[in-house]
Amino acid sequence: MSLAGAPASHPLDVLTAEEIEAAVAVVRASGRLSETARFSYIALQEPPKAEVLAHRPGRPVRRRVRVQIVLGPGLDMVEAVVVLGQGRDADELESWTPVPGMRPALLFEESFGAIVAVMENPDWQAALARRGITDFGTAQIDPWPAGSFGLGHEDGRRIARCLTYIRATATDNGYARPVEGLIAFVDLGRAEVLEVVDYGLVPVPEASGTYGAEDVGPLRSDLAPLEISQPEGPSFTLEGNLLRWQKWSLRVSMDTREGVVLHTVGYEDSGRVRSILYRASISEMVVPYGDPGPMHGWKNAFDVGEWGLGRFANSLSLGCDCLGEITYMDGLLADEHGNPYPLVNAVCIHEEDYGILWKHTDLNTGNVEVRRSRRLVVSFIATVGNYDYGFYWYLYQDGTIQLEVKLTGILSTQAVKPGERPDHAPLLTRDLAAPVHQHLFCARLDLDVDGADNEVHEVEAERLPSGPANPWGNGFRPRSTRLNTESEAARITDTALSRRWRVVNPGVRNAAGEPVAYQLVPGPVPTLLADPASSVGRRAAFATRNLWVTPYAATEMRAAGEYPNQHAGGDGLARWTQADRSLIGTDVVLWHTFGVTHFPRPEDWPVMPVEYTGFHLVPVGFFDRNPALDVPPPPGHCAAEADPAG
């Protein structure tokens, strides 16, 4: 008999605590786990897409749970799938698949063990003593993913490189006082310090980097209260993880790695819900640093695959992280022993006024028509080490979808000798600098524009040569090129030509006789600056292009592969697209790399103001006319107040 409790009502319902416990119980009952085994990932094994789309209310739902297990201190990993029984059916272990040589995301328990091991290590203590630091309890140890550089320490081990900072007090900002030149290599599985490397003495900066309200001096006193009120409550409803707002409907869930995931995003048009997005999430991200020296040149964190955005999601606070009439969703994750635990207020859902939606003043009649824009916000914030990332999905009344990422937090710092001006690390203070770096995100966007059989076209401006057909030399037009194969679809943005990518359903036509479409509108975004043949270039090949397109495959979920930690590279998109599969007459998935190249500045210290990046998905002929014409005018709106005479 199943131990999973009440059956799910929809295939994409989030896992319950009972379902997690039932899956873990099945794995443990197999007798294949030792006391040292740890669960690195537990999540819903999403059903096949066709099964989800064919589901109707009241039908039974078959639930599977995907489990990744670290069997011991080495590289023994297993992927298991547990089928949860229905009613009197027993839960059962469906598959048990070893994944030799792979490494999971860094485990919290092991990372804490690495910190303890470093602080107890005599070589590390001696290195601090050489710098005049004898109170080792003031140290802050940050374990970093070690990367893949062919070092002996990497062979057969799961390792971290640990950096050291000094905190004058328990609440101090340790990043103000980096211990430059000191790195400890730690075997995570065995909590063993393998080597302490000391590249030489650089004075530890003395200035504080605290930034709390009590630390920064007199606060501004001229801010009048700003209140947002919805006395009748919000305009959306949330039933389980099914969110409905205006004409939008979608499902929202929290994944251990990806953070918030959107499913089955649709828009009601003429009485039916039209599909737009089947699944959208942040598949991977990489933060490569541009200082080529031995102290910082190895830094390139994959914050999805090596850590997990969901694991680092904040518990959000009303009036601080979110303002207005807020509805929160809790997350439900599992720890490394397989125990479910709630993450309270993990997702914030609310509405925002967003200025003018549309307006026109008729200068002949003086008639004024204006509508205000309102958008729905689905957001979460993850703190991964020193950086904080806010992910904000916006739905607009005109059918637009936007993802905005807000970057803030604290820079990764390095100490510099007096009078030194590093080439690769702008100064923040006289003795503190921050290496240049990038934040490159890859969104996996499984668009189903009025169905799954879509094509992708690249659309950009084409300048026309001067001549008889263009006598004034002003002519230009849109040029559309269908991307037929995966190799053709590995593309880079060109803002000078307003390049964007259109997902077209050739089998559905609008009132103008054109195929319906949605287009990805990128921002002015970079690609990876590291050499493609470098270690990070091989591991983060997804970041060498702003667009990739693949045929839908349920197993292709992570842009850098399922296990990027210490991977030599060449996995994920780099491997899948070598097949150069056809993109015609199939279900396509877009992978969009976007982000920022960060040249740090003093104004980013001691804590960064928010920096923004992201993209839009915009309807192009998906609707027959402006779909927001039916938005009612604002209260007190007068359509004839304008004076045509001025």
In a domain, 632, yes or no: no
CA–CA distance, 624 with 643 (Å, rounded to integer): 33
Q: Of the listed 278, 387, 392, 396, which one is catalytic?
A: 387
Distances (CA, A) of 146 to 37, 106, 159, 534: 22, 10, 6, 15
pLDDT tens for 305-361 read 999 999 999 999 888 888 889 999 999 999 999 999 999 999 999 999 999 999 999
Please state the rounded mean pLDDT for residues 410-419.
96
Look at residue 645 and tell me whether its pLDDT is greater than 70.
Answer: no
Look at residue 646 and tell me whether its pLDDT is greater than 50.
Answer: no
CA–CA distance, 568 with 148 (Å, rounded to integer): 6
Q: What is the pLDDT of residue 272?
A: 95
Among the listed residues 386, 383, 412, the one whose alpha carbon sits nearest the alpha carbon of residue 310: 383
In eight-state DSSP terms, residue 266 is: E
In eight-state DSSP terms, residue 553 is: -
For 442, the 3-state DSSP assignment is strand
Same domain, residue pair 50 and 140 = no
Q: Has 303 been annotated as catalytic?
A: yes
> What are 67's strand-pairing partners?
42, 80
Among the listed residues 314, 284, 281, the one whose alpha carbon sits nearest the alpha carbon of residue 301: 284
In a domain, 103, yes or no: no
Distances (CA, A) of 57 to 88, 247, 370: 21, 20, 40
Same domain, residue pair 445 and 493 = yes
- Check whether the bond before 606 is cis (ω within 30° of 0): yes
Single-letter code of the amino acid located at 4: A
Same domain, residue pair 430 and 572 = yes
**Residue where a domain stops, chosen among 49, 71, 98:** 98
8 A C-beta contact, residue 449 and residue 543: no
In a domain, 299, yes or no: yes
pLDDT tens for 249-285 read 999 999 999 999 999 999 999 999 999 999 999 999 9
For residue 433, what is the domain's CATH number? 2.70.98.20
In a domain, 4, yes or no: no
Confidence of residue 635 (pLDDT cuts 50, 70, 90): confident
Same domain, residue pair 155 and 53 = no
Same domain, residue pair 38 and 122 = no
In a domain, 521, yes or no: yes
Same domain, residue pair 485 and 573 = yes
pLDDT tens for 495-549 read 999 999 999 999 999 999 999 999 999 998 999 999 999 999 999 999 999 999 9
In a domain, 645, yes or no: no
pTM: 0.96
CA–CA distance, 186 with 181 (Å, rounded to integer): 16
3-class secondary structure for 135-202? Answer: CHHHEEEEEEECCCCCCHHHCCCCEEEEEEEECCCCCCCHHHCEEEEEEEEEECCCCEEEEEEECCCC
Average pLDDT over the chain reads: 95
Structural domain of 516: 254-619
Same domain, residue pair 148 and 68 = no
In a domain, 88, yes or no: yes
CA–CA distance, 283 with 257 (Å, rounded to integer): 8
8 A C-beta contact, residue 20 and residue 334: yes
**Residue where a domain stops, chosen among 98, 128, 144:** 98
Same domain, residue pair 395 and 534 = yes
In a domain, 516, yes or no: yes
Same domain, residue pair 189 and 275 = no
pLDDT tens for 165-213 read 999 998 999 999 999 999 999 999 999 999 999 999 999 999 999 999 9
Of 87 and 143, the one with more pLDDT: 143
The residues, any chain, with a CB within 8 Å of residue 612's CB and separated by 6 or more, are 404, 405, 406, 407
Sign of CA dihedral 359, 322, 593, 343: negative
**Residue where a domain stops, chosen among 75, 98, 121:** 98
Please state the rounded mean pLDDT for residues 133-141.
96
Q: What is the pLDDT of residue 642?
A: 45
Tokens of 541: 């090949």
Q: What is the pLDDT of residue 460?
A: 98
pLDDT-wise least confident of 83-87, 292-296, 433-437: 83-87
CA–CA distance, 147 with 152 (Å, rounded to integer): 13
Please state the rounded mean pLDDT for residues 430-457.
98
Same domain, residue pair 84 and 114 = no
Please state the rounded mean pLDDT for residues 485-492.
98
Same domain, residue pair 158 and 282 = no
Q: What is the pLDDT of residue 192?
A: 98
Q: Has 387 been annotated as catalytic?
A: yes
CA atoms lying within 13 Å on the CB side of residue 312: 24
Q: Of the listed 291, 303, 450, 571, which one is catalytic?
A: 303
Q: Per the structure, how many domains does the chain have? A: 3
Same domain, residue pair 283 and 307 = yes
